[in-house]
Structure 1
Amino acid sequence: MLLFLPALLCIFTGGRCLPVLDVKGSDCLEDASMKTDGHWPQAGCDAQLTDDILTAEKRHQGLLRELQELVEHEFEREHHDTRETEEYDLNDLDDQEDGKQARRRDEEQMEARKQGNKEEEEEESARELEELLAEQIRKKEEGRKDDAELEELRKEEVNSEKDGEVEEKERSKNEAELTAEKEKVEHELQALTSDETKMRERQEKEEELQELVHKMERVKEEQEAPTEGEKGKEEDTTPETKEPQQKREMEKASDERTRQFEKERYSDDEEEEEDGDEDEEEEQDESEELLEIEAQLRRVAAELRKLHRG
């Protein structure tokens, strides 16, 4: 634009930019040209031509002023545009600088974020490591706990086995005691059976003894029979005196045998609590007692026979 405006100004200056004249003006111009050829123009054309030339010059000067104003305006606009361009460039530079600073800030922020992320990653890694360590410790503790529980179970199993052995021994001991108690009870039953047998034998011997005593008394009564006078007297007294005497003797003998039987029974009960030797001694004592009874029976029988012979 700056190159185009001076060229346009030169064109207008060189060509003078002559205004368009009317017919009359053209005649005066022809006259002027004739004047230049040596012919003078007609009267009145000179003044008109001068006015026209002056008017054209004014117009030309006005155009020049307009062109100059236009050129100045164009220069100002160009200068303004240049200044705006420079300002834009400066602003662009500022923007670029701001962009660089922004990029630097972004990079710094990115670096800070990276650093922060790195620190967070390190912290996260540290936390994960701590969690793994805590997990390992927890697993070890659980392993120790499981080992302790297994050890406790093993101890309980050993104790159960020991308890089982103790129970087995106790059961065997109880079985042995029960067997011994059973044998003792069987022995006592046998002893009771034997005692009952002996009691029956004793009762039979006592009955035999009483019969022998009665026989001996009757024999004595027959041998000591009184005379007829005394017989009547004795008949009055014998039923009253002799019968109570025999009864007392029989009751005395019965009481004696009862006491002896109770004593033997009591001694038998005490001797049942002793060992087998005492049982044998008791049986021996009872046998001796039976022998004594038999000896008494034999003695009574001998006395009876003696009385019969006398």
Structure 2
Amino acid sequence: MIYTVRGLIHKEELGITLGHEHFKWESDEFLANSMYFDKKYQLENMESDMNYIIPVMLDIKERGVKSIVEASPPLGGQNVRMLKALSEQTDLHIIACTGWNMTKQLYDVFPGHFEEQLASRWIKDFKEGLDTIDGIIIRPGHIKLLLDKGRLSGVDKAMLIAAVRASKETGIPVHCHIIEAEMVHEVIQVLDGVNADYNKFLWAHADHEANRETVELAAKKGMWIGIDTIRKGKSAWEFELLNYIISLNYSHKVLLSQDYDFYSEGKESMDNHPCTTIFDEFIPYCSANGISRQEIIRMMTENPANFYDVDKNDVD
């Protein structure tokens, strides 16, 4: 089963899925925390925001998409009330998340038992819901982390450990933003140290550097691989990485997406936004160069259904 903002669905209902997108990133951390901790939403702004987002979603839906994964963690302003309304008005499934929801400097102030407390918070988000709206308990379908660049910091190590603990308790997977391939080696050391289930861990943005050696290492560990910044003008770059992963017989553990912000793109231009690039440019490029449309659609359907499927359904 898969947790969406309108409740549980069977994995077979997920359909073609964009595995890493943003509906509206919120840079105001006070507002973001107010929504997450206090369940307070600026309802007066929601309708105007949705006027920019819905047309983008409908264009995506016209390409055959049935589901979209929200990759904005709570500190990025995930508005679950708006997500539920968007899902209802477009009839698209939306998978929300828990995860990074505090200023990372808090780790320096309260390092003691940090992993346990953070994991407990994320487990609570799952068991009690991020919010209850119109009688629907909105549970997260994944745990979103954003790791900083450079050497793996103490707080990021702690967040990884907390995420693994919460994932083991709830069954939901970890969706981890890692920009630099070199960091993946440090991440693996941490994950090995806590006996992580790599079938529940996604390296988001593996296509940023597209380091083949590290991608192969991740595949050998059983990690999921995100080719998720498929944007305008990048089809050749993204194709080369996907083709390499296919040569490793690992296409069954790839998640494809674009990493666009629908609000920003819709506000910029609702008539000429880039949020359908994966269908309008990437898939035709792949078809012309040896990866069929059917294979891409299979990956966008079966893979996310397997990654976001939660077997542990011990929640009322």
More helix per residue: 1
Is the TM value for this pair above 0.5? Answer: no
Query: TM-score if structure 1 supplies the norm length?
Result: 0.16
Larger radius of gyration: 1
Query: TM-score if structure 2 supplies the norm length?
Result: 0.15
**Bigger relative contact order, structure 1 or 2 (CA pairs below 8 A, ≥6 apart):** 2
